[in-house]
Structure 1
Amino acid sequence: MPDTPHQPPVADRRPSTREIHGRTRVDDYEWLRDKDAPEVVAYLEAENAWTEQRTAHLADLRQTIFEEIKGRTRETDLSVPTRNRGYWYYGRSFAGKEYGASCRVPVADPDDWTPPRPAEDCAPDQPALPGEQVLLDLDALAEGHDFFSLGGSAVSLDDRLLAYAVDVVGDERYTVRFTDLDSGEQLPDELTDVLGGVTWHPDNTSCFYSTVDETWRPDKVWRHRLGTPQSEDELVLHEPDGRFWTGIGRSRDARFLMIAVGSKTTTEYHYLDTADPDAAWQLFAPRREDLEYSLEPARIAGEEVFLVHHNATGPDFEIGVAPIAPTPPEQWRPLVPHDPEVRLEGVDAFAGHLVVHQRSRGLTQLRILELDADAGAGVGDDYLVEFDEPVYTVGAGSNPGFDQPTVRLGYTTMAVPPSVYDYDVRTRELTLLRRTPVLGGYDPADYEEHRLWATAEDGERVPISIVCRIGAREGVGGGADPVPTLLYGYGAYEASMDPYFSVGRLSLLDRGAAFAIAHVRGGGEMGRRWYDQGKLMHKQNSFSDFVACARHLVETGWADPATLVAEGGSAGGLLMGAVANQAPELFGGIVAQVPFVDNLTTMLDATLPLTVTEYDEWGNPEADPEVYDYIASYAPYDNVVAQDYPPILAETSLNDTRVLYVEPAKWVARLRAVTGNPDVLLRTEMSAGHGGVSGRYQAWHDRAFSLAWILDRMGLAGGGEPGRG
């Protein structure tokens, strides 16, 4: 590696060869996997120095964008209180503080479900509501650590004890501690290497948690009894199959504890009826390959039942009813039948109503089923909660109370900031409780949103959501000129990239750019078939869909390839690597965040985190030569060729356990070696995990870095033409 930052680092080529299925694969940069080796750390730091040198001309713009994000954000703020048993819970943030605090106040009137309105301008050392109790001062917990993440917190059912999980490294292995909320004292109990948080037993003296195996698969569920060492914890369930993970939760009515055991395509549930002191864990329905289901206890027409959300009758799921007993799928009675036009995503049960989460024609929906004892089936009116905007995202918020008559929901569009509503099922009134404030005179009416449709190679219509300032496309003479556009994509795990609002994005839009989301196959936007057609041996559809969306934007005059920038992270980073190889001429720049770009190497190593559990997503190339050849045909790292690539910014984190830093490091090394392009850049956070840096100000600086680079590629950084790197 050179000592001068005037030339990019050059990674040594140390070929390693592997023979599999009669194929020979040579990898020059696998040595970069040893993150503890001084030479690897030195290489990553040299790449950081090169990236900083290559983007030095953007330093002022980065600071300006940071100040814009900061200036649009109400730094001292608080969330809408959520009622859980006898308390209202809410979060607070404070100007100059990274993390904020979790608080609660007692419920004054048990019959009043209207959340109290805290004082929004109170000082950090003053209560926002009378009787405020600070449960967690997150800034105090983070003190002395370069990284901090709260994995989860849970209050016991008697409201006396708090369990909270923290990660100060970024590897998502949490330490759980306990606080007595009456005295404020910390209990001596401590649980290490926990995945996330804990679930309390209704006895308030014990809790459950999950741990991971050496491949970072949550394979065990444990019961911890307060006052005993972790070494004496009871192993409740161990899942030996490497394809399956475990997780535990408690029902809304607090009666049942439930353990989910699942792979990408198959699930089973175990449940414990805590109302029966002699009850043992029960298996509801044994796993069957490709049968997915989940359980939700409910009370319908006076009968205690399980609602079963399942795909036994069709790929877009059905909601069935079963008794509180082990029950095979053949005996699940339909309540909301399968509909190929509507993807049912889940159901929440309350004393007086059910809330069904679903999507149709690419849009999210909330559906209310009122429970009526006078109706023959116990279910009365069935309707959607309606909104006016043509493109939006709606979903249920925190609704922990089984007896609550209201539904807390969240709503946003690409122009409307996140909004919190309460829907009163009794009166059918929708009340806006809060819209996230955007300071500086922001007005959603200044922006226009559209739903476009691209045509994929196989004729499939692919939706695109797009937003820009009104008038951004107006050209000379009244025509519509192309606008610099950021096209975002993901396309994996049936995760839907629904329209959303971003304060940071305004720094693009207000400089004349557009932002678009390509809802490519592999996601779940258009139902289960959308996912099935974008995974395993159909993965190429995700890439060709994204390319089709880019071409549509160009051909319809929305965008110009010179100022069209692509962005995606994690599995979306795989998407970025693939389209960089397959259609580099369409983009003026590509941002790949924690990108899964060396996926063939990863999927060939069953000892790596997540590999075995993801065979159902990507395939098993070690076992099947056809799968090997298919992944090898699109894997970004393996398909780098000598062609003109646009400038690329790859961003990663040293402690990421989901997509190891070595993947983008190897990818950048090969790209630069093959093409000689100095504007293929690698930026590594040296103390962060998969989600990047912790702390909101650090995150704003991080996003400002990316946005400045994007604006530079769009010619909107102040110089008029796309600039370096």
Structure 2
Amino acid sequence: MKKTVGIGMLALVFIQACSQSTSSLTKHSATNIMKSESAPIAKRVDHLMEIHDHQRNDPYYWLRDDSREDPEMLAYLNAENNYTQTKLAHTQTLQNILFKEMTSRLEPNDASVPVLDKGYWYSSIFQQGKDYRIIVRQKGSLAAPKEVLIDQNIRAQGHDYYNLGDRKVSPNQKLLAIAEDTVSRRLYNIRIKDIASDTYYPEVLSNASANIVWANDNKTLFYVKKDPETLLPYQVYRHTLGTSPEQDVLVYQEDDNTFYTYIYKTRSDNFIAIGLSSTMNSETLLLDAEHPTQAPKTLLARSKDHLYRADHINDYFYIHTNKNALNGKIVRVHQSKIGDITQWQTVLKHNDDTLIQDLDLFDNFFTTNERINGLEKLRIRDYQGNLVQEISFTDEAYSSYLSNNPDPTSEKIRYYYSSMTTPNSVFEYDTNTQKSTLLKQDKVLGVFDPSDYQSKRILITARDGAKIPVSLVYRKSLFSHNATNPMLVYGYGSYGSTNDPSFSISRLSLLDRGFVYAIAHIRGSKMLGEKWYEDGKKLTKMNSFTDFIDVTKGLIAQQYADPNKVYASGRSAGGLLMGAVVNMAPELYHGVLAGVPFVDVVTTMLDETIPLTTGEYDEWGNPNDKQFYDYMLSYSPYDQVSRQAYPNMLVTTGLHDSQVQYYEPAKWVAKLRAMKTDDNLLLLDTDMEVGHGGKSGRYKSFLDIAKQYSFILSLAGVDK
């Protein structure tokens, strides 16, 4: 399940090259992989771009085709795929072993912990051999018969990709609204089902985001439409059950294309909130859920560098805000006094050492997820802000967050817990007894004992003195602290997104083959608070890249890895990280996995027609400003490719990617192939059926992981 988010995630969801001789990278040649001279060579077509009196030539710009139908472009991608398949042919047996190994650890018939909501127990079921969940409910009791709300396996039939983005049951429990994506572009179609008759209403609400909210009249549905070109969610519509979508009413339109639009229902069920957010600004409008045709009212107008998110209970709005509070604070305002910030009353003060990440309201208390020194704590407070209870943990490195708690009258709190050695677990904490009860822990089938593995958290000093947290895990019996283990270092470091250490069934396949796995919690995340994020964005973005390099060097120096068998991995903005570090320090890595990498930073951020561009100026900067243009250009992986040796690289993308367009990694590989001076592997693997998230489905997703792991395992000399 996804973490619920506070103001820190409102932005949504996103160098100077060092020369290196070929001879110095001899140790990183792909000695165990057959060489071939048949790599595709992309044609060059001059494409000049000029701004700020500076001209760039992008000879591979022709690979961009927004229709995704150009025969020459498709032929090139298919040629790259064929080349990749040929070069990885010798790993096919290993891929099959890994896929079978990973999927065999899954509980074939699995079910989520039932959640009580308005008289029904809701849960989801995996059936053996099927890729998608079946959503069911039971009325009143867990002994009642299961009623199938939606079988995603049936809905996915006939589609290469399927994603159920959201599902909402109407207040009277008779209708189900679902948002489905069958293209992998995050453009959803919303359908409405009559649960009793198991039939769908004829209307289809298209080009929508996954957001769905019911009004309290059980016939009015709110949803958000996206711009079909930029995919920016910007229009809130009101739909009446049983009517044509052409009759839907536009409730609100956001005309500032740096803002994202989303909707949600407050904890009290009294209001429907329209959330408007950019990276550093936000605003909330409110609709009366009992009178959905009334015009929205503004909770508090947007202002520069003010992020907030509001919820409502017991006649008060509780607001998680960064107003004069870098790490956040909690305030409240009576529902009769919205719009006036002078009426705000502080409930939980700002603390320089504590990042408030999440807020959940109950009738008699509220809960927060707070991060202190990089570690998460779940705290229960009264409505005067006093700390009443705290749920604490003993692992050095872990992930914990509030779970689905739909009933505000409950005295019990559900939460998730996981560590790099502890499978995902659901607990229930009783505020009366102050005890946690384990409701479910994911089973790992086969031979698995958590005590066989060691998880730890260390600090590595960066070049400017900053202490970078690193989470590590390895199999005890296969680890030798004398620089003999292969190691995979993972990083992201953007948008304030923090990759807390958690359990991975697939990762066991690396650990059981002697790998050390490390997560570098570099600047650009919020591992050490909001300042940690601020120090890794815009004009401080270079810190993210140098942190990752310094962590790698530090781990090698502390003999966690064989320096000849160090690998790196990152996806999306983490793919940008990979692109930057291989330009800056290619000699450190034997192989790199770059997934859906955001590598053509300058060109993309200058093009407002590309999804996510305008909404992310506060993350990367606006290159129409020369200061930001020059800074971006200094690290943009595509622009900084140089004539030097590069590590072995597997670059993956999806033709239908809506977040990082397929042509960014395609152009990057074409340029690398033309300029690199080594004979190491450079592979581009484009999935022609999917988008940013890769394959859908419980089992199919492991195919990609098996391929990527087989690539680095083969480089490390492991073929079993």
Query: Is 1:196 equivalent to 2:210 in the alignment?
Result: yes
AA aligned opposite 1:660: Q
1:227 to 235, 238, 242: 242
Does structure 1 retain, via aligned residues, the 8 Å contact 2:251–2:295?
A: no
State the shift of 1:383 in Å.
2.9
Alignment partner, residue 321 of structure 2: 310
Question: Does 330-339 or 135-144 show the bigger shift?
Answer: 330-339
Identity %: 40
Query: Is 1:96 equivalent to 2:129 in the alignment?
Result: yes
Does structure 2 retain, via aligned residues, the 8 Å contact 1:147–1:169?
A: yes
Q: How do residues 238-637 of structure 1 correspond to structure 2 at under 5 angstroms?
A: 238-275=253-290, 280-299=295-314, 304-324=315-335, 325-370=337-382, 377=384, 381-474=387-480, 480-621=482-623, 623-637=624-638
AA aligned opposite 1:556: Q
Does structure 2 retain, via aligned residues, the 8 Å contact 1:655–1:661?
A: yes
Alignment partner, residue 119 of structure 2: 86
Does structure 2 retain, via aligned residues, the 8 Å contact 1:51–1:682?
A: yes
AA aligned opposite 2:189: T
Alignment partner, residue 197 of structure 2: 183
Does structure 1 retain, via aligned residues, the 8 Å contact 2:658–2:691?
A: yes
Question: Does 39-48 or 249-258 show the bigger shift?
Answer: 249-258
1:52-91 per-position Cα deviation (integer Å, ceiling 9, x unaligned): 1111110000000001011111121111111111111111
2:152 to 135, 138, 144: 138
Question: Does 487-496 or 212-221 show the bigger shift?
Answer: 212-221
State the shift of 1:5 in Å.
7.8
1:101-141 per-position Cα deviation (integer Å, ceiling 9, x unaligned): 11110123xxxxxxx4xxxxxxxxxxxx6410011111111
Alignment partner, residue 723 of structure 1: none
Alignment partner, residue 113 of structure 1: none
Query: Is 1:52 equivalent to 2:85 in the alignment?
Result: yes
CA distance in 1 between counterparts of 2:219 and 2:697 reads 33
CA distance in 1 between counterparts of 2:398 and 2:437 reads 17
AA aligned opposite 1:50: Y
Alignment partner, residue 163 of structure 2: 149
AA aligned opposite 2:249: E
State the shift of 1:678 in Å.
5.5
State the shift of 1:27 in Å.
0.6
CA distance in 2 between counterparts of 1:359 and 1:50 reads 46
Does structure 2 retain, via aligned residues, the 8 Å contact 1:17–1:26?
A: yes
AA aligned opposite 1:559: A
CA distance in 1 between counterparts of 2:342 and 2:312 reads 19
Q: With structure 2 as the length reference, what TM-score do the two structures score?
A: 0.93
Change (3 A) 1:279 1:188: closer
AA aligned opposite 1:60: T
1:32-64 per-position Cα deviation (integer Å, ceiling 9, x unaligned): 012311011011011001011111110000000
State the shift of 1:480 in Å.
3.5
State the shift of 1:599 in Å.
1.2
1:565-595 per-position Cα deviation (integer Å, ceiling 9, x unaligned): 0000000000000001001011110100000
Change (3 A) 1:276 1:670: closer
State the shift of 1:275 in Å.
4.8
CA distance in 2 between counterparts of 1:396 and 1:674 reads 48
CA distance in 1 between counterparts of 2:292 and 2:445 reads 54
CA distance in 1 between counterparts of 2:483 and 2:680 reads 31
Describe the SS at the equivalent of 1:347.
Answer: strand
Question: Does 308-317 or 485-494 show the bigger shift?
Answer: 308-317
CA distance in 1 between counterparts of 2:566 and 2:577 reads 16
CA distance in 2 between counterparts of 1:514 and 1:75 reads 29
Change (3 A) 1:293 1:674: same
1:471-506 per-position Cα deviation (integer Å, ceiling 9, x unaligned): 3333xxxx6343111100000000001101110000
CA distance in 2 between counterparts of 1:141 and 1:356 reads 37
Alignment partner, residue 374 of structure 1: none
Does structure 2 retain, via aligned residues, the 8 Å contact 1:9–1:47?
A: yes
AA aligned opposite 2:114: P
Does structure 2 retain, via aligned residues, the 8 Å contact 1:653–1:692?
A: yes
1:11 to 34, 42, 47: 42
1:346-382 per-position Cα deviation (integer Å, ceiling 9, x unaligned): 21111122011211101112111145xxxxx4x6652
CA distance in 1 between counterparts of 2:295 and 2:614 reads 31
Describe the SS at the equivalent of 1:694.
Answer: coil
Does structure 2 retain, via aligned residues, the 8 Å contact 1:454–1:462?
A: yes
AA aligned opposite 2:208: V
CA distance in 1 between counterparts of 2:128 and 2:55 reads 57
Describe the SS at the equivalent of 2:202.
Answer: strand
CA distance in 2 between counterparts of 1:666 and 1:560 reads 32
CA distance in 2 between counterparts of 1:587 and 1:642 reads 17
Describe the SS at the equivalent of 2:300.
Answer: coil
The count of residues paired between Structure 1 and Structure 2 equals: 681
Does structure 2 retain, via aligned residues, the 8 Å contact 1:8–1:678?
A: no
Alignment partner, residue 166 of structure 1: 180
Q: With structure 1 as the length reference, what TM-score do the two structures score?
A: 0.92
Does structure 1 retain, via aligned residues, the 8 Å contact 2:647–2:680?
A: no
CA distance in 2 between counterparts of 1:5 and 1:389 reads 48
CA distance in 1 between counterparts of 2:60 and 2:291 reads 58
1:591-622 per-position Cα deviation (integer Å, ceiling 9, x unaligned): 0000001111100111111111111111111x
State the shift of 1:427 in Å.
1.8
State the shift of 1:278 in Å.
9.0
Alignment partner, residue 119 of structure 1: none
State the shift of 1:409 in Å.
0.5
Query: Is 1:30 equivalent to 2:61 in the alignment?
Result: yes
Does structure 2 retain, via aligned residues, the 8 Å contact 1:342–1:359?
A: yes
CA distance in 1 between counterparts of 2:457 and 2:515 reads 17
Describe the SS at the equivalent of 2:204.
Answer: strand
Describe the SS at the equivalent of 1:696.
Answer: coil
State the shift of 1:280 in Å.
4.2
Q: Which consecutive unaligned segments of at least 5 residues does structure 1 have?
A: 109-115, 117-128, 372-376, 719-725
CA distance in 2 between counterparts of 1:714 and 1:441 reads 24
Alignment partner, residue 74 of structure 2: 41
CA distance in 2 between counterparts of 1:486 and 1:342 reads 30
